[in-house]
Structure 1
Amino acid sequence: MFFTFLWQRGLNWDEATEEDVEDWEDWRLRGVANPAPVGGGTWAKEQAALKLLYRIAAKRGLVPVNPVQLASPSDVKTSDVKWLSPRAFRLWRNVGLGGMLPSGLEDESWRGRCAGRDMAYADLMYSSSPRPDPATSNLTPRDETQGQPVAGFDAFACETCPRPVSTGRGHGTAGPHHGPR
């Protein structure tokens, strides 16, 4: 959208000035003619992308200076972490991963195939650490003589899960399982 904004002013992307960027910010956040003004978080992402683009362009000599010199917006919500209580976690795990209804009965329309594995992994992650590395390292068998992971082991393999399906377009597997069984 920024490039369209510049084009409407008769400018190419490499002719943008600090004033153009300030006008763009004003239009994106507060513009009367803008049908969908954005909030601080969206603007922060756009500004970061533009700043990176012009930093690279300036480094390569494509523009004389980086025109994106604005301060970061102050109304950006950086995180809104909500913690689950143990009871809420069990409900999420049972309904979301285990194919149960909130009442505790089995959901007949559930199509999952590895509910036990998925629930066990969620339990491991919930009970071990907020960082995944300590928990997932428990799932990788090690060669005791070398201290290295065992080659070809797939910690997420499940006997009842379908085998990987090739997409036929050179993009690897279509499922979550990568590696030999």
Structure 2
Amino acid sequence: MPGDPVHIRPDGMVDWDFLDFVRSAVFRNPERETKRNYGTDYRPLLSLLSSRGLSWRDATPQALADYRHWRCKAPENPGRIGGTKWNREAAAFTKLFTWGEVYPLSVDVSRCEDLAADSVSARVSWLTPRTWDLWFDIGPRGRTRAGIAAGGR
């Protein structure tokens, strides 16, 4: 589909395995924005692996550890990423490696050590005006659920 990623290997040939992944239901079914984000997440990994003469199917845990260090911690990398971005990339890689039956998985978001500890959740909780008033009364105003001033304050 237009906008889907295609990986061109250093020899100028299309990576047909990666293209099969992109055309699979695993990649086709997520929302358009997720697919776009994952596509940009795959590019630097595939480029690094290609520079080492490796296919993504040959990605070793050490290659992924080196990649993660470069992406997240290397002082010489001016474009370091934070934990939230790493977790999204790790999810994209897990999807690719699982689909491609690359075992053992070089990165797996179900393993705590493959997730960033400094990740910030994007989940936002919205309160209705009534719930906000109740929270504010009980919290900062120190009242009971019935709206009466709590004793001892």
Q: Please give the TM-score of this superposition, normalised by the length of structure 2.
A: 0.47
Greater length-normalized contact order (CA 8 Å, ≥ 6 residues apart): 2
Question: Which has the greater radius of gyration?
Answer: 1
